Amino acid sequence: MRRFNWQKSSIIKAIGIVLCLFMVLFNFSPAMQVLSSIPNVVYLDSDTQKADFFSSLPAPFYYKLNNDTQTVSGSIDESLNRHRTTATVELFGIIPVKTVFFYTKSNHYLIPCGQSIGIALHSKGILVVGTSDITTTLSDGTIKSIPSPAAGAGITAGDVIIEANGTEIYNTDNLVNICNASNGQVTLTIQRNKSTVKISLKAAYDPREEQYKLGMWVRDSTAGIGTISFFDPNTLSYAALGHAIMDIDTSTVFDVKSGEITECEIVDIIKGEVGEAGELLGTFGSSSTRFGSIRTNCEFGVYGTLYSDTDFDSLSAYDKPLPVAFPNEVRVGKATILTTLDDSAIGEYECKVTKLFSQSKAESKGFVIEITDSRLLEKTGGIVQGMSGSPIIQNGKIIGVVTHVMINDPERGYCMYAYWMAELMG
C-alpha cells in the first residue's frame, strides 16, 4: 500500500513538473510574445482597422467581439463610451486570456485656455449638510430645546431635498414658505445616492420667530475659483477644472441646476510647501464679466457653453485651435502648462511629464507632471489649488489638464488626459 502511494505521489509530481515546463516554454513561444505585445487599449481610425488588427493573431489565439453593456442615455458613461468596443482574446477559442478596449478616434481641435475663472453653482434642490436640535423661545419666555425633526425622520447629511409636498424646491426660503403654509406637516422627496425616497415629518414651531423649523442645515449654492481648460470655437462648449466641485461639508459632488463661470482676479498666492498645499486667492462678484453657463459638474470637471459675446481673447493665449492628443500619444518628456498667476494674465511655463498610466476608461489621474520653470516655482512652489484645469501642451497638442497636487511634493501633480474631457464636451 505504501509503495502504491509513493508511486502515485511520484506520478503527480512528474505531471506537475511537465506542466510547469510546458507553461514556461509556452510563455516564451512566438505566439505568447505576440500576445504580450498587444496593448490593452487601441485607438483606431475605423472598424476596418480593427479587423486588420486581429487578423495577424497567430494560432491558437482567436478573438470575439463583445456586446458592451448599454449605458443610460445622457449619462457621463454614454458620452465617454460611445466610441468604445471591447474584444476578448481567447486561447483555442475557449479560454479568455486578454480583453482589448478599442476606441474609434474622435478628432478634437480646441483652443487651450488657462485663464482663472470664478465658478458659481446653484444646486438641484437643496443639500442637507447636517442636522441639529432646535432651540425655541416660548411665548412666556421659556427657552426649550427640541430634538431635530429631520434627524428623527432619518434625514442625514448628503441628502438632497428636491420636493416638498409635491412642489419643487429651489432654495431654502422656498422650503421655509412651504413648511409655514402647511403648518409644519411636510412630505419631502429626497435624492439619496442614486435613489429617491419620500419622508413625511412634522416641523417644530418657533413662536418667537413665528415659523416652522425642520432642524437641519442646508445649502442651495456654492462658489469657488478654478481654471478653464479649453473650448471649441465652433460650438462654444468648454471644459474646466478636471475634477468635480465637492460640497465642503458632505464631500459629495454638488449637483448643478444652474450656474455660471465669470472673470476672476487673482489677488494673492499662498505658496505650496511640503505637506501643505498652496492656493491661488481670487475674487469675483455680481459685477464680474460673465463668460458662460454651467451644464454639468461631474467627477471629470465642469462643462458648459460660453456666451456668444464673450471676449474669447481674454480666455486664451492661443488664437487658433490645437489638436487634442489621444492618451497613447502622450510621452514622458518636456511639456508646457498654461495658467494664470497674480498678474491675472495667462502664462506658459515649462514642465515635464514624468509618469504615464495606461487607462481603458476615463480617470482623473492619467499622468504625472513636474513643474520645472523657475518663474512658476518661485511664485507658487509648483502646483497650487486654483490651478486645477490648467491645460498641458506637448508637441503642439493638448494632452491633459491638472487635477491634483501631490501634497508631499508640490512641484508635482496629477493630470487627466484631455481626450476624455473633450469627449464629455460633446
- The residues assigned a catalytic role are 243, 373, 388
> In degrees rounded to 5, what are phi and psi of residue 37?
-85, -10
- Only one residue has cell 478634437, namely 108
Give the C-alpha separation, 293 to 296, whole Å: 10
Cis peptide before 60 (omega within 30 of 0): yes
Give the C-alpha separation, 126 to 129, whole Å: 9
Give the C-alpha separation, 420 to 300, whole Å: 8
